[in-house]
Amino acid sequence: MNSDVRVMESIREKVEAGQRLSFEDGLALEACNDLFALGTLANLIRERYNGNFAYYNVNTHINPTNVCVYTCDFCAFRADLGDERAYVMERDQIVERARQASSRGATELHIVGGLHNKLPFSYYVDVVRWIKEAAPEIHIKAYTAVEIEFFAKISRKSVETILRELMDAGLGSLPGGGAEIFHPEVREQICGAKASTESWLNVHRTAHRLGLHSNATMLYGHIDGPKHRIDHMVRLRELQDETGGFQTFIPLAFHPDNSQMAHIPKPSGVMDLKVMAISRLMLDNFPHIKAYWVMLGLKTAQVALAFGADDLDGTVVHEKIYHEAGAETPQEATVAEIRRLIEEAGRVPVERDTLYHRIERDGGTWSPREHIDVPGLALAGADSK
Ligand code: V47
């Protein structure tokens, strides 16, 4: 047996025994070119958490503004104040979007945007309040840790106060964006000016303490290497050990078009599946791994269900961030399409809400049912709804 085979053998034994993989194990997984072996191992953990279920939700995105003080190299969405492309959504547009979402039966509004040079924190609170007033039944998953940190800076309030004010307005959870790559060798190069790794983690730590659940992402396939990706996952795993507040990890495949890194090729299909499988294996305390079809394409996202992923995200209408960066996926997938992809992959489709309650639909109305309990989601003091 050569040494590579021996290492993979020992990793397989650990996964089967439910033992944690080390940083070095992660590097060994990165060095492994046996895609099927990685998929098979990742599948063991996926199945342990989620049986044969694969989840999706009905959601819509709102990007309230594209004006951003930061100039992250990977971003094709941002605009300078005064650019032709620059916009800020007004109350009527936000309310209209919320009403449209409500009439389509959406259970979630996902809000993420630029960090505007001039808008006060009160605008971002108002966005949440306007939506809550227009569509009280919809869960608002809003503002990345980078945005929360920025709001704290411009308003000279603490992260905790910012989160509390947003929660009072109707915030339901935090999305996982802004994490990019935590390792300083990469972070300083691609987005050095924005929230540091420590700040990002601290916003999520604070959110979890206040009873909010959140997600985490990793932007891969640009100047990152194996050690940066494994380091990223280990840092998230450590915070999850501490708080239990993360629900889902979403590896985000880099889209280069129209960004300052347009010369870098897109990650390959093999890389997409490898990163998915390794995420499932390393993040042993995350209940869910999402194959975000908008980034991966519907076909790769479907295949990812055999490489550790158990969630396809949502129907997603009005997505701008990746479409500006060259995503060729449609703006919307229908429920029938998502369910068909899941069934064809041999899994049972389950509609969920943002906090992983099963959704039951009766004609035009929907109601949240029981929480989809998977081991590992134990947020101290949190309301499970
Ligand atoms: O932080 C920006 C990424 C993120 C590009 O929590 C890009 O359920 C690829 O976090 N190519 C924001 N990625 C979106 C996000 C997200 C998406 C889906 C689900 C959830 C969730 C969260 O988008 C940013 C950044 O990492 N991004 N530009 C690009 N050119």
- Answer yes or no: is 171 within a domain: yes
- Ligand 1 atom with the smallest distance to the CA of 179 is 1
Verify whether ligand 1 is closer than 6 Å to residue 325 (CB atom): yes
- Answer yes or no: is 48 within a domain: no
Verify whether ligand 1 is closer than 6 Å to residue 250 (CB atom): yes
Nearest residue by C-alpha to atom 15 in ligand 1: 177
Testing ligand 1's pocket by substitution, the residue of 111, 252, 311, 319 carrying the most ligand atoms inside 8 A of its CB is: 252
380 CB contacts (<8 Å, ≥6 apart)?
Answer: 243, 244
**Tens digits of residue pLDDT in 168-189:** 999 999 999 999 999 999 999 9
Determine the 3-state secondary structure of 261 from DSSP.
Answer: coil
pLDDT at 364: 72
- Answer yes or no: is 89 within a domain: yes
- Ligand 1 atom with the smallest distance to the CA of 178 is 1
* Burial class of residue 198, CB neighbours in 10 A (0-12, 13-18, 19+): exposed
pLDDT at 375: 55
Quick one: which of 256, 262, 254, 255 has its CA closest to 228? 254
Testing ligand 1's pocket by substitution, the residue of 219, 264, 356 carrying the most ligand atoms inside 8 A of its CB is: 219
- Ligand 1 atom with the smallest distance to the CA of 253 is 9
Tokens at 155, concatenated:
């308003």
Q: Which amino acid is at 139?
A: H
pLDDT under 50: residue ranges of the chain: 376-385
- Answer yes or no: is 100 within a domain: yes
Q: How far apart are CA 158 and CA 152, in angstroms?
A: 6
- Ligand 1 atom with the smallest distance to the CA of 174 is 6
Nearest residue by C-alpha to atom 13 in ligand 1: 254
Nearest residue by C-alpha to atom 9 in ligand 1: 254
- Answer yes or no: is 5 within a domain: no
Tokens at 327, concatenated:
């995503």
- Ligand 1 atom with the smallest distance to the CA of 144 is 10
Work out how many domains the chain is built from and give that number. Answer: 1
Verify whether ligand 1 is closer than 6 Å to residue 314 (CB atom): no
Nearest residue by C-alpha to atom 8 in ligand 1: 175
Q: Are the beta carbons of 308 and 39 closer than 8 angstroms?
A: yes
Residues of the domain holding 133: 53-382
Verify whether ligand 1 is closer than 6 Å to residue 252 (CB atom): yes
**Tens digits of residue pLDDT in 6-65:** 888 999 999 999 999 999 999 999 999 999 999 999 999 999 999 999 999 999 999 999
- Answer yes or no: is 184 within a domain: yes
- Answer yes or no: is 165 within a domain: yes
The model's pTM: 0.95
In this structure, what CATH number is given to the domain that contains residue 98? 3.20.20.70
- Answer yes or no: is 15 within a domain: no
pLDDT at 374: 67
What angle separates helix 159-169 from helix 197-209, to the nearest 10 degrees? 50
